[in-house]
Structure 1
């Protein structure tokens, strides 16, 4: 099928957002050259076939497209149909129309505890060696240090071989009792799962004859290399495969009281365009979407890789970030989080505090200031997630600042929850770009502050060593966390000692 091509002339002072979450730092588009193909790579995070403009224009397609911002034009090429609209005046207007028309919100939200308390993912702390004893120790340490209980996520390798979703009997001798103890402490429990099946396992030998494993172009069971080796892959376009994975997950809920699941992988690069799937012609992005649909049955869920499904009650985490200030580190949390919201993903979570890319994270190179600023930056996102134990890697002063950030999130939890409930009706982001809320005030290029809902301006510190930072205040009166009152519009230099996360409430 021939591709369609759409060429739009860029308007004066027009800014664009959309495509891939992972390109947040390159947004807004329009002032420099930029191109990407949504059919080839999604950057390890969410993506949606949507572009929206500060001048109230949009481009949408049901299928992945390539787009390029050239000197004076936007060019979009894809299988189509490519749908273009204009006349919605602002970024908010264009987003609102696209949301209502192409991905209307579902009137339900993910598990409330994801919003109202910090989350605790055991990945960085335990890596591939989680045990029942270590999980309970971590949970007990959370409470002992005065941090609120929340969702606790037991990450990779709690299980037998990949695809055999039963607890490893050596590492978890009594998982039912463990879950009961965690529940008694106030936690809800998630388990990490993926669509892969180890090819040297009994599960593989049982599943292969059933036809629910993906086949390559030759008709043989596809074996794909991923970050943990080589595995077969569930064909989630096959209703029998979907039924099978639900049976495994529901057994964990029934037998042990597990509350939900972290659905990892599913990235398009683990599929090939000519794979022989149950639904003929399924694209690589289509397989990513099919895996993401599995999570819709579980209110307590988390995804990192997702194609489309904006407006759905899925918790969407930013991809693994490095333990660094610049690059794929702290400076990317706000731009990428804003991109998530403008792509229709309201229920968003930054990456693990300090960074979830374990190869960049070690005690001997730990930057305690960076860790604290990560925690503060995350505190007024819709969700926040610890992993490396701050009480282990930080001294008393820095630990205190992280505990304060955790408590701040819990303090705002009911307000964040109300915003999540509103998003399930309106489709609006919870974490909002300044230009979304304040069109025409020159906020389009702001990447280091955001709005939580329509009234709370948050200005975290994302620069090493900074004890002062500029904040752009829109028109109105703003009451600060430090007791100050600012009348905008104004661009002010404010003090940001290490213990401060600046936020301002519009009066």
Structure 2
């Protein structure tokens, strides 16, 4: 027994040392190993590397790795002049090239992540503090902001988000790489990030007006495992949206009527949906139902009996949502009340409400960080539910970009923080839809892609649907809805040069949306020729047929974090080719979707990951790990493949 105990003790000591092994490589490096990775700190010039075996998986860029800007210009940390280790924590003191004041860097090593915190202890807030990482050859980058999704992977372009704000679409300060490293900076401060800016070969992320920055480097075997780790850290969805969002297309009045709404038009729209045999549970009444921003009643002249209208819509099987925003126009009924109670975001003086210039006009914004203002607005919405039977709300606006940095709020939150306070409202309504959020993943909200242009382009038209949607999936928003089929940017449809909805574009857009987590129409398919209506109905019903399957993965996302629509590499992390594919996706874990996204095309190349795949339409099987070239895809065919076994 003594011999066994001795052996066990020796094994324990060896294991403990392996978990916490520190070695000095002369005066140049500090090396710390654990069972998952090795941390190497270069002392002069300063630098930090993470290794798996002999492979560098992350590298702070030497003298560019740590820099800050103040009134004297740019300062770079250049060397470590003192260090000590306590347990799993490494304390560093570093000198810069422009001042004698030292920086403090604290590195905490855990089994599956490294926490890096950098402080300027002797300074007030500086203009910005920046961390810069090398774009290591062979590593692919994803995440950050949905608006940059069309740059897939990110390192293939010059990407710049200065400032990096919750604007236009979902954004989150999280990035992941194919090397199995995630970069998470849980921060609401004004930020910026660039990737390969001016071909500099770096990922740079900065925080404004601060004296401290912190980042978590999540380290896993591969990118999907990093994503799961991030999803659990930021918070899995607390609720799953109602099944009707997933198993049937939604319809929205925006492009169909713009703001020219009335009760009869909405009823005509609803009857047309049913008479043309399109499945639909959720009907959204977009902007135009209320008289002015900040008033929450139907326009009496246009809606003589809104309760009867909503009652009839309910009898027809629809759930009804209304468009709302946080903006209030001067002259609206409650404007003076809101001003006197300090319920609006204040300007830089802090003494009066600040003007907000947004796409809908020049207004003011409710300060949702003020609990009383929040409750006031919540009560307004609940009255709409009680009085008319409204089921929920499409919450538009709330973009951080529209709030000047020096504006003031009740809770002293940043503009990104204001965006997420706006998102908190969705926690109170089962039926909700958002377009912009920062770190609201745990709320389980419906997140819509921004208004797309009525064209084929990869930047903001049909070609952007897949990479933007997949970026949403990889920053923790599994419940995303692509934009309205045919595009939702009203400017396109108001343009004097607009020549009408293109049939081919509308069909291909319908096909591309059909197997995404959600599907949304606005422009009515029945405005087009009979054949087009039939094709669109076919794919609306395919979405309905797969509703149980889609909802299964919606439920799974709330327990595992796994997205519903996944990039090809998600279930094939060892497949290098899969990391480059941005015009295909996998629905759940076995349906590969490869829409036609180019005008005039009747075939396309399709990459199949490893495994055995069956064409959904022909039942023909194909061995994966290769590209099917010029695969037939006539106008009525959405290429689909089912993974066997």
Please confirm whether the aligned pair reaches a TM-score higher than 0.5, indicating the same fold: yes
Partner of 1:268: 400
Asked whether the 8 Å contact 2:218–2:229 carries over to 1, the reply is: no
The one-character-per-residue Cα deviations of 1:165-200 (angstroms, maximum 9, x if unpaired) are 111111111111111111111110000000011101
* Deviates most, 1-10 or 209-218: 1-10
Distance 1:87 1:153 in 2: 42
Aligned match for 1:426, one of 553, 560, 563: 560
Alignment partner, residue 151 of structure 2: 26
1:7 paired to 2:141:
no
**Corresponding residue for residue 541 of structure 2:** 407
1:268-307 to structure 2, matched below 5 A, reads 268-280=400-412, 282-307=413-438
Q: Distance in 2 between matches of 1:89 and 1:361?
A: 48
Give 1:151 shift.
Answer: 0.4
Find the partner of 1:131 among 259, 262, 280.
262
Specify which of 238, 242, 246 is matched with residue 370 of structure 2.
238
Q: Quick one: distance in 2 between partners of 1:84 and 1:13? A: 22
Superposed displacement of residue 473, structure 1: 0.4
Q: Are 2:218 and 2:230, in contact at CA under 8 Å, matched by a contact in 1?
A: no
Of 179, 185, 203, which aligns to 1:74? 203
Q: Deviations over 1:205-231 (max 9, x none)?
A: 222211111111121112222222221
Any residues of structure 2 matched to 1:78-89 within 5 Å, and which? Answer: 78=207, 79=210, 81-89=213-221
Corresponding residue to 1:447 among 582, 589, 607: 582
Partner of 1:380: 515
What residue is the counterpart of 2:628 in the other structure? 492
Query: Paired residue for 1:462, among 592, 597, 600?
Result: 597
2:292 to 142, 150, 161: 161
Going by fraction, where is strand more abundant, 1 or 2? 2
Structure-to-structure mapping, 1:86-235, within 5 angstroms:
86-101=218-233, 103-218=234-349, 219-235=351-367
Distance in 2 separating the partners of 1:30 and 1:89 = 21
Q: Indicate if the aligned counterparts of 2:515 and 2:593 stay in contact, CA closer than 8 A.
A: yes
Q: Give the TM-score normalised by structure 1.
A: 0.96
Distance across 2 between alignment mates of 1:492 and 1:316 = 33
Establish whether residue 51 from structure 1 lines up as the match of residue 175 from structure 2. Answer: yes
Maintained 8 Å contact 1:149/1:185: no
Whole-Å separation in 2 of the counterparts to 1:38 and 1:435: 30
- Cα distance in structure 1, aligned partners of 2:134 and 2:364: 46
Residue 639 of structure 2 is matched in structure 1 by 502
* Greater RCO (CA < 8 Å, at least 6 residues apart): 1
Change (3 A) 1:114 1:149: same
Distance 1:256 1:55 in 2: 53
Asked if structure 2 preserves the Cα contact closer than 8 Å seen for 1:122 and 1:153, the reply is yes
Q: State the TM-score, normalizing by the size of structure 2.
A: 0.76
Give the superposed CA RMSD.
1.5
Q: Which runs of 5+ in 1 are unaligned?
A: none
Q: Is the 8 A contact 1:355 1:361 kept in 2?
A: no
- Which residue does the alignment assign to 2:61? none
Match of 2:99 in 1: none
CA shift at 1:5, angstroms? 3.1
1:481 deviation in Å?
1.6
Give the superposition deviation at 1:66.
2.3
Return the offset for 1:43: 4.7
- The farther-off stretch of 415-424 and 61-70 is 61-70
Q: In structure 2, how many angstroms separate the alpha carbons of the residues matched to 1:153 and 1:305?
A: 18
Structure 1 residues 5 and 183, CA gap change in structure 2 (3 angstroms):
same
2:499 is matched with 364
Which of 514, 531, 547 aligns to 1:397? It is 531
* Inter-partner Cα distance in structure 2 for 1:311 and 1:277: 24
Cα separation, 1, equivalents of 2:342 and 2:570: 47
* 354 and 448 in structure 1: CA distance in 2 versus 1, 3 angstrom threshold: same
> 8 Å contact 1:62–1:81 — kept in the other structure?
no
Aligned-partner SS, 1:436: coil
Q: Measured at CA, do residues 32 and 353 of structure 1 come closer, stay the same or move farther in structure 2, by a change above 3 Å?
A: closer
* CA shift for structure 1 position 339: 0.4
User: Does 178-187 or 107-116 show the bigger shift?
Assistant: 107-116
Aligned-residue offset at 1:298: 0.8
Q: Tell me, what secondary structure is at the counterpart of 1:240? A: helix
Q: Secondary structure at the match of 1:35?
A: strand
Distance 1:69 1:223, change over 3 A: closer
User: How many residues were matched structurally?
Assistant: 503
Q: How far apart, in 1, do the equivalents of 2:272 and 2:314 lie?
A: 15
Q: Measure the CA separation in 2 of the matches of 1:311 and 1:331.
A: 29
State the shift of 1:376 in Å.
Answer: 0.7
State the shift of 1:8 in Å.
2.4
Which of 455, 476, 490 lines up with 1:324 in the alignment? 455
Highest Rg: 1 or 2?
A: 2
Once the two structures are TM-superposed, the CA of residue 451 in structure 1 deviates from its matched residue by 0.7
Cα displacement (A) at 1:96: 1.3
